[in-house]
Amino acid sequence: MTSEEIRLRFLKFFEKRGHAIIPSASLVPENDPSVLFNTAGMQPLAPYLLGASHPKGTRLANIQKCVRTVDIEEIGDNTHATFFEMMGNWSLGDYFKREAIEWSYALLTDKQEGFGLDPARLYVTCFEGNSDAPEDQESASIWREIFENNGVPGNRIFFLGADANWWPAVKKGQDTWSGPTGPCSEMFYDVTGKINSGMSKEEFLAADERQEVVEIWNDVFMEYVKNNGKIAGKLKQKNVDTGSGFERIAMVLQNKNNIFDTDIFQPLMEKIESLSKNWNLKSGRIVSDHVRTSIFLISDGVLPSNTDRGYILRRILRRAIRHTDLLGISEGRIDDLIDIIANKYKDSHYQIINKLIMIKKTIKEEEIKFRETLSKGIKEFEKITDLTPEKVFDLYQSYGFPIELTEELAIEKGMKVNKKEVEKLFKKHQDLSRAGSEKKFKGGLGDTSEMSVRYHTATHLLHQALRDVLGPSVRQRGSNITPERLRFDFEHQQKMTPEEKKLVEEIVNEKIEAKLPMNKITLPIAEAEKVGALHFFGEEYGNKVDVYFSGDKIETAYSKEFCGGPHVKNTSDLAGKFKILKEEAVSAGVRRIKAILE
Ligand code: ATP
Ligand code: MG
C-alpha cells in the first residue's frame, strides 16, 4: 500500500464512522508562544478536549504535522524522524475506550476497509496504575475480548508505567504538564515476523529496545486535567485522543523494518546515496530527515535565526549540511533533494510547491552563512590528532564551536572528548575571568570603584535587555569592567541592527528611570534556577548561590543573575544615560558590546 493510499484509507475509515475530517494545523502553534512546535495531534485540539465545543462536532479525524526536537538524537535509528505526521481520531465527550480500541484493531487488521496487518504480529500495552489513576483493566479486557473473538492466541497484553502509558509521558520528577491528560494503550507490530507470541514482559521490552516490535499507534483516554504536573481533577467530559505515526504505518505495511525504506523516504535516500562519494547510512538518514523537517518548517513560516523556532531550524539545517559534507556531496546539491521532497508532497502538502523558490533561497542562504562561519573551525579541527580539553576550549573560544558540535565531530573521527576534564577547564577559565574582575573591584576602591560598581549593575540590565530584544539564546560569554566603560561579550550570530541597538538602549534607560531596587537573595541552586536566574554555562557552583535581582521581589524582578556583587542599591544610582558605543564580532558567533553611562 502506498503512503498516499494510507492517508486516504485512514481518513475514509473514520469518516464512515461519523468523524469530520479536519485539516492539519500549522507546525507553529497559534496563540501559544510557550510551545515551539506542535508535537502531537492533540496540541491544537487541547481547548476542545478541555470542553470548548468544536464547530465540526464531537468526532474528528485528521493527519497532523508534528516536529519533535527531543527525538533529534534518535535520528538515524529505524523509527524516529524529527518531522512526522500523526494520524488521529478524536472523541470529544462522545465514544470512549470500547469504540476507540475496537476501531484501532479494525483499521489495523481489516483487509477490506483497513490496512490488513497480521493480527498475530500485534501486541498492546495498558497502564499499570499509580497514585494518579488505577490499573487500566477496562482497556485490557476489551483487548482480551478482541483477541479471543478473532482467534488470535498468545500473550499480547503488557502493563507498563506512566513513562510509557500515560500521555504525555511522565519522566521522573520532570512533569510540568498543564492540560488534558490520561492513561493510554499503545499498539506494537512485530516487524521481524518471527517473534514467538509467548513473550514475557521482559522479552517484550527487550524486543522494543531492539526495534523488533515497533510502536505504531497510541490511544489516549483523556479523563483528567493536570496543573503543573499534578492531577487537578477530572475533565468535564471523557475524550479519546489517538495518534498513529504515518511513516511507521507505511513501514509496517510496506514490509520494511525502518521508515527510510518506505516510499516516503526511499527516492530521497536513493538520490542522497547516488550523490555521495562517501556513503554511510546514518548520515544519509540524518540528511533526509533534517532537510525534510527544514522544508516543512520554512513552509510554515519559520526562518533561520538565533532565537526560538528559528534557532531550532538553523541547528537542524546546519546539521544536515554538515552531514552532506561527510557524505562527500558537492555544495549546492540540496536543491535536488528539495525537489524530490516537494514532489512527494505535491498532493497532500501543496504549499511546499507554492513556496518552492522561497524555500530553496532560504536554505541556500543559510548554507552560505554556515560555510563562512565554520569552514575555518572545521579545518582547525581536522588538524587535531589528540583532542585535549584545551583544544575543545580553543574551538569554542576562537570558532564558536558548541561543545556538542565538537563532541559529534570527535565521535565521527573516532576520538573521545573527556567531558569531565573539558567542563573543569571551562570552569577554570571562568573562575579566572571572575577573579580578574573581583580584583578590579577590590583594587579600585575609593574614587574609581563607585563607577565600576555602576557599570556592573548596568551589565546585568544590558544582559537582560539583549535577551528581550534578541531572544533567550543570548548568553554571556565574558564581561570586563573599568571605571570608564563596560564591555560585554555574548553569543549571537549576526551583527545587531541599528534598531536593535536603539531598543536595547531604551530598555536599559527605562529600567534606570524606573528606580528599581537591587536586591540580593541566597538560594539553593535548584531554586535559583527555577526562578530563572541567569548564570554562566557549564559553571559549577556550591549548594547555595547569591542571586542579584532588580526589583522588589525576585519573581517579578527585571534581571536576575547568579553573582557575587557588588551592585548599586538602586538602578537610579546609575545616574546617567546608557549608551552603546560599539557592537562588533569577537569570534564566530560571539559579539562584543562596549557601553558607557553618559
Ligand atoms: P516512541 O516511544 O517510539 O518514541 P512515543 O511514545 O514518543 O513513541 P507517542 O507520543 O505515543 O510516541 O506518539 C504517537 C505515535 O506517533 C507513535 O505511536 C508513533 O507511531 C508516532 N511517533 C512518535 N514519535 C515519532 C517520531 N519521532 N517519528 C515518527 N513517528 C513517531
Ligand atoms: Mg507512546
H/E run at residue 74: none
> Residue 185 pLDDT > 50, yes or no?
yes
Residue 251 has pLDDT above 90, yes or no: yes
Ligand 1 neighbour 80 (Cβ under 6 A): yes
174 Cβ contact list (under 8 Å, min separation 6): none
Which whole number is the average pLDDT over 19-34? 85
Q: Which ligand is nearest to the CA of 188?
A: 1
> Quick one: which atom of ligand 1 is closest to the CA of 214?
3
- Cα 584 to averaged position of ligand 1 atoms, centre (Å): 44
Q: What is residue 345's predicted lDDT score, i.e. its pLDDT?
A: 97
Cell readout for 580 is 552603546
pLDDT at 439: 36
Ligand 2 centroid to Cα of residue 42, in Å, is: 13
Peptide bond into 566 cis (omega under 30): yes
For residue 89, report the distance from its CA to the centre of ligand 2, in Å: 15
How many angstroms separate the CA atoms of 294 and 281, rounded? 20
Q: What is the pLDDT of residues 346-370, one digit of tens each?
A: 999 998 998 899 899 999 999 998 8
Query: Which residue is closest in CA terms to ligand 1's atom 25?
Result: 80
Q: Is the pLDDT reported for residue 432 higher than 70?
A: no
| Strand positions, DSSP E, 115-267 | 122-127, 157-160, 166-167, 179-190, 213-227, 230-245
CATH 3.40.50.10140 holds for 3-255? no
> How far does residue 162's CA lie from ligand 2's centre (Å)?
10
Query: What's the gap in Å between 258 CA and the centre of ligand 2?
Result: 17
Q: Please indicate whether residue 319 or residue 344 has the higher confidence score (pLDDT).
A: 344
Residue among 79, 205, 213 whose CB has most ligand 1 atoms within 8 A, to mutate? 79
pLDDT of 404 reads 66
Range with lowest mean pLDDT among 2-16, 154-168, 248-262, 531-545: 531-545
CA of 292 to the centre of ligand 2 (A): 23
26 alpha carbon to ligand 1 midpoint, in Å? Answer: 19
186 Cα–ligand 2 center, Å:
6
Per-residue pLDDT, averaged over 390-398, amounts to 80
| Residues forming beta bridges with residue 184, ordered by sequence position | 220
Q: Are 165 and 140 in contact (CB under 8 A)?
A: no
Q: What distance in Å separates the CA atoms of residue 189 and residue 117, rounded to the nearest whole number?
A: 9
Ligand 1 lined by 71 (C-beta under 6 Å): yes
41 within ligand 1 shell (Cβ under 6 A)? no
C-beta 81 within 6 A of ligand 1:
yes
* Residue in 39, 42, 84, 177 to alter for ligand 1 test, most ligand atoms within 8 A of Cβ: 84
Report the predicted TM-score, pTM, of the whole model to 2 decimal places.
0.71
Q: What average pLDDT does the segment 411-425 reach?
A: 84
pLDDT digits (tens, 9 = 90+) for 323-336: 999 899 999 899 99
Dihedral angle sign, alpha carbons of residues 339, 342, 347, 353: negative
Q: Which pLDDT tens digit goes with each residue over 519-549?
A: 999 888 888 888 888 875 444 556 778 899 9
Report whether 502 contacts 339 (CB < 8 A): no
The reported pLDDT for the residue numbered 536 is 59
What are the pLDDT digits (tens) for 50-76?
A: 888 999 999 999 999 999 998 988 999
> Tell me: domain 450-597, CATH 3.40.50.150, correct?
no
Over the stretch 98-153, which tens digit does the pLDDT of each residue have? 999 999 999 999 999 999 999 999 999 999 999 999 999 999 999 999 999 999 99
- Closest-CA residue, ligand 1 atom 4, reads 80
CB of residue 72 inside a 6 A radius of ligand 1: no
What does the pLDDT read at residue 452?
83
Going by their DSSP bridges, the two strands 157-160 and 476-482 should be labelled as unpaired
The response to whether residue 190 sits with its C-beta less than 6 Å from ligand 1 reads no
Q: Is 251 in the pocket of ligand 1 (CB under 6 A)?
A: no
Q: Whose CA is nearest to atom 16 of ligand 1?
A: 245
Counting ligands in written order, the one closest to the CA of 215 is: 1
Ligand 1 pocket mutation, candidates 75, 218, 222, 265, criterion most atoms within 8 A of CB = 218
What nine digits make up the cell of 449? 570603584
DSSP 550-588: ESSSTTT-S-EEE------SBGGGG-S-EEEEEEEEEET
Ligand 1, atom 30: closest residue by C-alpha? 245
Q: Quick check: CB of 367 below 6 Å from ligand 1?
A: no
- What is the band of 287 on the pLDDT scale with cuts at 50, 70, 90? very high
- Domains of the chain, residue spans: 3-255, 265-350, 377-443, 450-597
In this prediction, residues 438-462 reach a mean pLDDT of: 64
Q: Which of 34-43, 372-381, 400-409 is predicted most confidently? A: 34-43
In the reported structure, the alpha carbon of residue 185 is separated from the centroid of ligand 1 by a whole-number distance in angstroms of: 13
Among protein residues, the one with the nearest Cα to ligand 1's atom 26 is 80
CA of 354 to the centre of ligand 2 (A): 34
- Measured between alpha carbons, how far is residue 453 from residues 138, 253, 482, 550 in Å? 66, 68, 9, 14
